[in-house]
A = this chain, B = another copy of it.
Amino acid sequence: MTETLTNRASPDAATQLDIYRRMLRIERNDEFTRAQIRQGRITAPYYSARGQEAIPSSISVLLNDDDKICTIYRGIHDMVAKDMPLRPLWAEISGRVDGTCKGKGGPMHLTHPETGVMVTTGIVGSSMPIANGFGWAALLDGSKQVTVAYFGDGASNIGAFHEALNLASVWKLPVIFVCQNNGFAEHTRYENGTSVDFIAKRAIGYGMPGYTVDGNDPLDVYAHAHAAIERARAGEGPTLLECKTFRFMGHVFGDADAYMDPAEKEAAKEFDPMPRFRQKLIDDGIATEAQLEELKAKIEAEVKDAIEFAQSCEYPSDDELRRDVFAEEIPA
């Protein structure tokens, strides 16, 4: 296997609860999104991250608002974990002018700089080279900011991954490369596209630490993210975290998973981080059932409010096609 972490940080009770809050916010938001699409209330390509909630949640509790993330089409969970407000998010995926991108970007290109959501890309692998630039800017600023680049297992086979990790290592950039390894790249199983048993092993080729992490276990993700973020803030350079997980809803909304053995999905359910972590919090006395129900209700209210808000917003005017191409508006 890959490297083993020696000094494991553990989240305290409050932090665990905060992790769970973020996970639940992701999970509830995802549920409502799929429902809205199913009901035809929003029309948008949607890449559910159901099953991957623990990863960005356990990382984001370690990040400040001005720490940055660069994510991908399957990235709304990363944004929600970073506490991006839901109103501009929903307005955006509803194609409204009050969306965070005025309805121009949509779900695959959401950004929200105030909470550090800098880039969402639809091109496999492209979150990583850009994350390096934020890392370089942090060095120039003399800040302690870190940048997290999220990407999938399939993305670890594309050129941009390689170029970005090599540069980050040579330049000792404060970037954490987080591979959310859900075992599939669209319809292709991990081993049919990837030549190494653990993606984290590729870190050896870049002279950086690489860890294979249980992405369904918030404590394991937290411990490794903690080490990586500390290292980055200390100016020691990047880390590659491979977080193993599963995507329960197929590649894209509407995907029937025909390429997947149904037994495999069944088996994965046992490791679904949502019920497991909930139970753990209760078992460890960190929260009561009632408290968690209350949290859920609060989150659902937030999501519903965001949906209603979005529906109350205007559509962008056609003039928007001439705006934001350049700083200066393109003449009609």
Contact = CB atoms under 8 A, between A and B. Distances in A.
Contacts of A202: 204-205
B207 A204 contact: no
A294 B207 CA distance: 49
Nearest to A172: B195
- Majority secondary structure, A binding face: helix
A160 B165 CA distance: 14
A311 interface: no
A277 interface: no
Interface in A132-165: 157-163, 165
A196 B203 CA distance: 9
Contacts of A195: 165-166, 169-170, 205-208
A192 interface: yes
A205 B205 contact: yes
A201 interface: yes
Contacts of A162: 157-159, 161-163
A192 B170 contact: yes
A295 to B, nearest CB: 41
Interface in A191-219: 192-197, 201-202, 204-208
A202 to B, nearest CB: 4
**In the assembly, how many copies of this chain are there?**
2
Chain A: number of interface residues, binned into ranges: 20 to 34
Contacts of A196: 204-207
Question: Which of A163, A196, A201 is packed against the most chain B CB atoms within 10 Å?
Answer: A196
A295 B6 CA distance: 62
A75 to B, nearest CB: 22
A210 to B, nearest CB: 9
A159 B204 CA distance: 17
Given A195-B207, A205-B196, A163 B169 contact: no
Contact of A207 (B160, B169, B197): B197
Nearest to A125: B159
Nearest to A169: B195
A166 B170 contact: no
Interface in A170-202: 170, 192-197, 201-202
A121 to B, nearest CB: 16
A266 to B, nearest CB: 28
A160 B161 CA distance: 11
Contacts of A194: 166, 170
Contacts of A208: 195
Contacts of A205: 195-196, 201-202, 204-205
A162 B163 CA distance: 9
Contact of A204 (B157, B161, B170, B204): B204
Interface of A: 157-163, 165-166, 169-170, 192-197, 201-202, 204-208
17 contacts: A158-B163, A159-B162, A161-B162, A162-B163, A165-B195, A166-B194, A166-B195, A170-B192, A170-B194, A195-B205, A195-B207, A195-B208, A196-B206, A196-B207, A201-B205, A202-B204, A205-B205
5 nearest A-B residue pairs (beta carbon): A159-B159, A162-B162, A169-B195, A202-B205, A195-B206
